[in-house]
């Protein structure tokens, strides 16, 4: 399994942005997917996660109501739609995947595969 990210960039507070993560490999035996982020000088933080069919997504409190995780199974692509972006959302964002048919939680150590990361910068 390989994950290739796209999207990201510089936006203003209040703007929206969508991140994409293309999964190469066969997800048919079960993939749990998630988004994490890491801001300068801070620990890696869970953002959102789901199983591969997108049921019962889980969100960090800090993004709940503003971010949406979704999956296009036909395109093997994971998305993170971010709305009403805030300065504190500035970070490098990573998609991650684990071999599991259910969501594996918010601990990054439970994920086996990672995207290359993409910078999201929100100007105040």
The reported pLDDT for the residue numbered 95 is: 98
The reported pLDDT for the residue numbered 88 is: 96
Phi, psi at 72, each rounded to 5°: -100, 100
Alpha-carbon gap, residue 54 to 88, rounded angstroms: 26
pLDDT (tens, 9 = 90+) of the chain, 124 residues, equals: 899 999 999 999 999 999 999 999 888 888 999 999 999 999 999 999 999 888 889 999 999 999 999 999 999 999 999 999 999 999 999 999 999 989 999 999 999 999 999 999 999 8
Q: Is 36 helix (H, G, I), strand (E, B) or coil?
A: strand
Report CA 26 to chain centroid distance, whole Å.
Answer: 19
Residue 96 · residue 115 · CB < 8 Å: yes
């Amino acid at each position: 399994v390989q994950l290739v990210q796209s999207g990201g960039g510089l936006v203003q507070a209040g703007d929206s942005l969508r991140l994409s993560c293309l999964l190469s490999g066969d997800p048919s035996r079960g993939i749990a997917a998630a988004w994490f982020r890491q801001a300068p000088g801070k620990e890696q933080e869970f953002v959102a996660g789901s199983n591969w069919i997108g049921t019962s997504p889980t969100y960090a409190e800090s993004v709940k109501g503003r971010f949406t995780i979704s999956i296009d199974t036909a395109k093997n692509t994971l998305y993170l739609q971010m709305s009403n972006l805030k300065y504190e959302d500035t970070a490098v964002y990573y998609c991650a995947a684990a071999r599991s048919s259910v969501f594996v939680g918010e601990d990054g150590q439970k994920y086996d595969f990672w995207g290359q990361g993409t910078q999201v910068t929100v100007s105040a």
